[in-house]
Structure 1
Amino acid sequence: MAGEVYFSNLTGRWDWGSLVDQILRMKSLPLQRMAQESSLLAKKREDLSNLASAVRELRDLLEGLNIDGLLRTKIGSSSDPSVVTVDVSANAPEVTFNVNVQQTPQREVLVSTGGVQSLQSTVNWSGLSVKYDTGSTVESFYVGDGSGTLQDLVNIINAKAGSRVTASVLYDGNLYKLMLSEKDEGASTKETSVGNTVISLNFTSLSVGDLDYNNPIQQAKNTRLQIGNLQIVSPTGVVRDVVQGITLSVQKVGTAVISVVRDRSGIEGFLRNFVESYNKVVRQINSMTGIRATFQGDASVTGIKRNLSSFLDTLFKGGIVYYTEDGTLSLQLDKVNTMQETQLRDILTSLKGSMGSFLHDIYTDLQRFVDDYRQREERINSVAQELQQQLQEEEKRLRLEFSKIESLMAQMEELRQRLNTFMVSLSDIQGGRR
């Protein structure tokens, strides 16, 4: 019955427990062999899984390689970023030129000729319009008639003409006046001159007076810069496509040298990652195929390293990499900056195409082997579990049978002792009669 316990050698005459242990040890030998085989399969599966992971990393790196993006990348620099900074796109030419910033942009700011003594004073206006000269057209914003405080007038102007003009209150130490300024200097190419402004007012009456066109607080100015004999004017401090693909951001008046060169940092970064990922694959193969390793001398695994190396000819010819003692690669980045674009394109195209395709197939094969080892391991473990259960049942059966035998032996011993006692008593009886 379940839960029964059988004690060996209760009579002290037969230690059948050690016999049962010996029988079970003999019968458990297949179980030990299966455990060893399962452990070996698990180690091989782990090694192959690690190799597959390293191969996948290298494959993904090559599949994600944007050759055109790396080769077309340019970088721009300014000898004096406090004067002008530079931004470049891929289609910018490799050039060097001098820039002379003669004028930086300014927004026009005008103030009214009159004002009020107090912010609570009443201001009247009628037929009022705000005009904004973009340089090609004049935009008009009708404010209309009204009265209120100076701040009320400011609010109405901002509501009507706020897309082009910002109205506010200026206190000059004596009067509160109306101040108008450009919202965005890039909206107009016109520059302020005496009596000729970007912002103007039309009105029938305005109690704070007209704008002081002859004495602007700040004049509207465009960016003016010179490149060689070329004069460039821009309403903002950002001058786009001054040369195709080159954008300059003006900071202050001064001179600077602008240079545009190819940016090889992206290619160098890719090559660093490639060598690192390649070496990870090689080191994993070395650890799997070395002396007493799980795949020692296995040609199918060592063949991966040999085949991978066959795709590196263009890198070796360019002097970009060389072998180390264990088959890993060492990188020579100084060679990259001296190479022509066509040579770099050939190298990257070869790696992405031929090696990338090979890695894709190898990763698929490795995954299939990993799955196969896992299934074999599961089958062995399943059989081992069944055998373990059988041995447990066998142990119960043997202990039960041997305990019964020991019990029978104990009964026989008791009977022998009783017979012996009977015979002694009988002898004593017979001797007493004589």
Structure 2
Amino acid sequence: MASPITPGLGLGSGIDINSIVTALVNSDKSAKQTQITTQTTINTSKISGIGTLKSALAAYQAAMNKLNSATSPAFSGFAAISSAPTVLTTTSDNTAVNGTYTIKVDNLATGSKVASASFAGGASSAIPTGTLNISQNGTAYSVAIPSGATLQSTRDAINTTLGAQGISANIVTDSNGSRLVIGSTTTGKGTDLIVSGIAGLEIDGSQIMGTIPDPANPGATLPDPNSAGTIGALAADANLTIDGLAVTSKTNTVNSSVSGLSMTLVAAGTSTVTVATNTTGLQTSIQSFVDAYNTLVRTVNSLTQATVGADGKPTVSAAMTGDAMPRSLIADIRKELTTPGPGGQLSVLAQLGITTDQKAGTLNFDSAKFTKAMTSKSLGGEVQTLFTGTNSTNGLLARMSAAIKPYSQTGGILDQRTTSLNKQKSELSNQQMALDLRVTSLTASLTAKYNAMDLLVGQMKATATNITSFFDSLNAQASKS
């Protein structure tokens, strides 16, 4: 704040008014300004610390979610490998067992694709108003066809109404006209589409579309323009053998034929599926877990531990030194590390070579001890159960995520702390404004008083000078006479 005091000595008194006023104002201001400055520094540091802690928890939560992903399991106790991924791909869960399987895929599961008879007028051909009924495997769907509809608008109505059910339509045009082609993502025998209710769009999907001789190729056939039905072949189940045992599946995902294995069929052919303990993958995932935990602990330590000088005594406090909340957070998370999990012979992390550094609070991972445990005790499935649990809540990863939720969630402990600190910041700002106003007012008041004093002193000096001059004049006259 600029000083309103005009620098220089008082004209009347010769006193340095500026220095006097500044000293008096600073003396009055000092205690309160020191208090505000100190509290503002602490407040700013704590707000920054809460932000850092929020970011650290968000990163830790993201790591836990990734490791606990249901679609890309990081803790699969067993690894299933297909020798021919172009034939089938496979994954395993913690109920799998070591083994090798020969899988021969004879044919994939297929869905229904049907076509109407040709419309000579093309996509703009008029379609009667009414209700188009499409049934599949005993389930009926209705599509309203308004007046003035065309083949194209009918296609659009089907897509809008039945897209969520996996049924879609398009238009295919050849030299004979345009056909409405309807397909389904549902696969398996008996899922053929049946269409009725609108003249010209009756399609019996349980029948193959009729053909006529191809005049350009004797012995060959072409689709009959006047025929409707299934294109190519009826919907079919997937057929495969597993070690010579015949298996059928409505879909191309085969989950229950081999315990613990899920297979996605890609094409006809043969593949060998090998299932083995996922030692390398589990070690990588455990190391990722340990690294994520240690990163969070180190962040909390940096926010709470004061800098120590050469004499071993704390010199500079950290942003949250003395704050119980970060310690409570770590305690809540660490509690889950020592809580027995849902596994059988494996229930605590120490059995996998994971221990706690008593000084730093971080985790140490002994990969040699882990490998020995996996080799001697075949704990692959147990490791998966320990980390991901037998349900969505009892695994270590889920429990750790639940432990930090009260802190990280919207409106949670960290948000409440941030709100409180921002309120304190606003109050300190108001206190600073009030102090600045007081300093301005006091400076003006003291300056006015000292200027008035200086004026009075100047006037008194002038009077004294006049009196002295008067008596000097009298003395001079007396001497002449």
Question: Which bin holds the TM-score, normalised by the shorter protein?
Answer: 0.5 to 0.7
> How far apart are the structure 2 equivalents of 1:370 and 1:231?
63
Residue of structure 1 equivalent to 2:190? none
Are residues 1:294 and 2:338 paired?
no
Match of 2:454 in 1: 406
Query: SS state of the match for residue 452, structure 2?
Result: helix
Tell me the distance in 1 between the aligned counterparts of 2:305 and 2:80: 49
Counterpart of 2:298?
283
Equivalent-residue separation in structure 2 for 1:326 and 1:98 (angstroms): 51
Residue 92 (structure 2) pairs with residue 77 (structure 1): no
* Structure 1 residues 176 and 365: alpha-carbon distance in aligned structure 2, compared to 1, 3 A threshold: closer
CA offsets, 1:109-133, max 9 Å, x none?
Answer: xxxxxxxxxxxxxxxxxxxxxxxxx
Q: Is 2:396 the counterpart of 1:351?
A: yes
State the Cα deviation string for residues 311-364 of structure 1 (Å, max 9, x = none). 424223321455497432345678486524345434553635765565456666
Shift of 1:265: 9.4
The alpha-carbon distance between structure 1 residues 239 and 372, as it changes in their structure 2 partners (threshold 3 A), is closer
Q: Following the alignment from structure 1 to structure 2, what is the Cα–Cα distance between the partners of residues 166 and 88?
A: 42
Alignment of 1:196-207 (within 5 A): none
Q: Where does residue 45 of structure 2 map in the other structure? A: 43
Q: What are the equivalent positions in structure 2 for 1:299-338 lying under 5 Å apart? A: 300=324, 303-304=327-328, 305=330, 308-313=333-338, 314-320=348-354, 323=357, 326-331=360-365, 335=370, 338=378
| Structure 1 residues 11-410: aligned runs within 5 Å | 11=11, 13-34=14-35, 35-51=37-53, 54-55=56-57, 58=60, 70=73, 76-82=80-86, 84-87=87-90, 94=97, 95-100=99-104, 151-152=175-176, 164-165=208-209, 172=216, 178-180=221-223, 183-187=231-235, 226-230=241-245, 238=252, 240=254, 243=257, 246-247=262-263, 249=265, 251=267, 255-260=270-275, 271=286, 274-287=289-302, 288-291=304-307, 292-294=315-317, 298=322, 300=324, 303-304=327-328, 305=330, 308-313=333-338, 314-320=348-354, 323=357, 326-331=360-365, 335=370, 338-342=378-382, 344-346=384-386, 349=394, 351=396, 359-360=404-405, 370-410=418-458
3-state SS of paired residue (2:273):
strand
Q: CA RMSD in A?
A: 5.1
Q: Structure 1 residues 347, 378: CA separation in 2 closer, same or farther (over 3 Å shift)?
A: same
Cα displacement string for residues 36-60 of structure 1 (whole angstroms, at most 9, x for unaligned residues): 2321233234324533553566468
SS at match of 1:312: helix
Amino acid in the other structure paired with 2:463: L
Distance in structure 2 (CA, Å) of the matches to 1:237 and 1:396? 88
Note if contact 2:81-2:273 (Cα within 8 Å) is conserved in structure 1. Answer: yes
Per the TM alignment, residue 387 of structure 1 is displaced from its structure 2 partner at its CA by 2.6
Any gaps of 5 or more consecutive residues in structure 2?
111-173, 182-199, 225-229, 308-314, 339-347, 389-393
What amino acid is the match of 2:305?
Answer: T
SS at match of 1:9: coil
User: Is the contact made by 2:10 and 2:451 (CA closer than 8 Å) also made in structure 1?
Assistant: no
Tell me the distance in 2 between the aligned counterparts of 1:170 and 1:22.
111
Deviations 1:398-420 (A, max 9, x none): 01111111122222222233333
| One-letter identity of the residue aligned with 2:474 | L
Distance in 2 of aligned mates of 1:42 and 1:9: 42
Aligned counterparts of 1:412 and 1:352: Cα–Cα separation in 2: 88
Return the offset for 1:275.
3.2
Deviation at 1:289, TM superposition (A): 1.2
Say if 1:30 and 1:184 are closer, same or farther in 2 by CA, change over 3 A: farther
Contact 1:8 1:16 (C-alpha < 8 Å) held by counterparts: yes
The letter of the residue matching 1:403 is N
Q: Secondary structure at the match of 2:436?
A: helix
Q: Who is 2:161 aligned against?
A: none
- Offset of residue 183 of structure 1: 1.9
The Cα offsets for residues 72-93 of structure 1, whole Å up to 9 and x where unpaired, read as: 79765321334x2235586995
Match of 1:54, as an amino acid? A
Name the TM-score, length of structure 2 as normaliser.
0.55
- Alpha-carbon separation, structure 2, partners of 1:413 and 1:46: 61
TM-score (norm 1): 0.60
- Give unmatched runs, 5+ long, in structure 1: 107-149, 190-222
Q: What one-letter code is carried by the residue in structure 1 that aligns with 2:46?
A: K
Q: CA, structure 1 residues 45+344, in 2 after alignment: closer, same or farther (shift >3 Å)?
A: same
Contact between 1:240 and 1:247, CA under 8 Å: does it hold in 2? yes
State the secondary structure of the residue aligned to 1:243.
coil
How far off its partner does 1:241 sit? 6.2
